[in-house]
């Protein structure tokens, strides 16, 4: 009986066996990392899920769920105080969005096109609000208004939110402005356009996706902001976030769960819209800082 021998190249060697073993181990996902990731998401999203669930509770209870109902959403719509605070938050967000976009576009253009040391210094100063704790900004804004003798009101909240939001718009637009070809604007001026016309007809349309994305992001951030609004708002009317805080100091009501769920849904929709706008225009550079692209 003749035995067939495999070629030496086909026979597994100790080196190949070790390589295959290492590849199998590398392909396996460590169980401890999976457990830590699951624990992280549970701690992060489980309280939000509980708030959302009990906003549909048929009973006035925060511990026992007794069927689905929309009674607390109807109670919110019938609460004149909360509706007034909602309108105040919307006005503050719209004004802050418009002001921060106008100033942010101008600042982004200036920082990119200014090649001096002063421009570099201004770019570093622009990043300070992003790394400064918001409570420090809130206290500083309150002391500034008090020192100037300005009464805290909705107007002071708007001014503070605009100042705080300019940096976000500038960071989003700065990369987009740097990617623009300056020769296109120069060609428009060679054809007879003034510098303002070239900016309005050539540069701003190219920046439109990033501008819209930044505007939506600022609206979401300002609408949900609590710390800055708390330190700079007056007695009445108060933004919705401050009104919710004032209400839960005397006990959490199911209506607050409904308001929080609506605010969460609105914020998610706005952030998704901000991420989708640049792709809707077929361009990039809007929120690459958030999407990691």
CB atoms within 10 A of CB 207: 22
Which residue positions in the chain have pLDDT lower than 70? 1-29, 119, 278, 281-293
Residue 252: strand, helix, or coil:
coil
pLDDT at 28: 60
Residue 257: strand, helix, or coil:
helix
pLDDT at 59: 80
pLDDT digits (tens, 9 = 90+) for 217-245: 899 889 888 999 999 998 778 898 888 88
Contact 72, 257 (CB under 8 A): yes
pLDDT at 102: 92
Does residue 293 have a cis peptide bond before it, meaning omega lies within 30 degrees of 0? no
- Token pair 């609506």: residue: 262
23 half-sphere exposure, CB direction, 13 A CA radius = 6
pLDDT digits (tens, 9 = 90+) for 112-124: 877 777 767 777 7
The residue length of the chain stands at 293
Contact 265, 112 (CB under 8 A): no
Return contacts of 243-251, CB within 8 angstroms, 24+ apart.
Answer: 243/81, 243/82, 243/85
pLDDT digits (tens, 9 = 90+) for 203-216: 888 888 888 888 88
Q: Which CATH architecture has domain 79-291?
A: Orthogonal Bundle (1.10)
266 half-sphere exposure, CB direction, 13 A CA radius = 17
Domain range summary for the chain, segments of one domain joined by +: 79-291
What DSSP assignment string belongs to 144-186? HHHHHTPPPSHHHHHHHHHHHHHHHHHHHHHHHHHHS-HHHHH
- Separation CA 176–CA 277 (nearest Å): 14
């Amino acid at each position: 009986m003749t035995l067939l021998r495999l070629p030496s190249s086909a026979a597994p060697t100790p080196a190949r066996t070790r390589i295959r073993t290492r590849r199998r181990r590398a392909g396996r996902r460590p169980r401890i990392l999976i457990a830590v990731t699951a624990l992280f998401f549970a701690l992060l999203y489980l309280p939000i899920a509980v708030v959302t669930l009990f906003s549909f509770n048929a009973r006035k209870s925060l511990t026992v769920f007794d069927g689905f109902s929309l009674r607390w959403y109807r109670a919110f719509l019938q609460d004149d105080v909360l509706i007034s605070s909602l309108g105040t938050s919307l006005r503050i967000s719209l004004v802050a969005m418009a002001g921060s976009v106008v100033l942010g576009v101008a600042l982004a253009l200036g920082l990119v096109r200014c090649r001096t040391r002063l421009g570099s210094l201004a770019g570093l100063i622009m990043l300070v609000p992003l790394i400064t704790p918001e409570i420090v900004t809130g206290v500083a804004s309150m002391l500034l208004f008090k020192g100037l003798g300005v009464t805290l009101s909705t107007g002071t909240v708007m001014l503070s939110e605009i100042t705080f939001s300019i940096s976000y718009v500038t960071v989003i637009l700065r990369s987009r402005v740097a990617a623009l070809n300056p020769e296109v604007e120069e060609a428009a001026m060679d054809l007879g356009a003034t510098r303002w016309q070239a900016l309005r007809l050539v540069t701003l349309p190219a920046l439109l996706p990033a501008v819209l994305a930044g505007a939506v992001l600022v609206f979401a951030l300002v609408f949900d902001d609590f710390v800055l609004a708390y330190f700079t708002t007056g007695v009445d009317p108060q933004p919705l976030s401050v009104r919710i805080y004032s209400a839960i100091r005397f006990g959490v009501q199911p209506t607050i769960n409904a308001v929080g769920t609506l605010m969460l849904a609105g914020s998610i929709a706005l952030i998704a819209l901000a991420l989708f706008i640049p792709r809707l225009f077929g361009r990039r550079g809007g929120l690459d800082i958030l999407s990691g692209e």
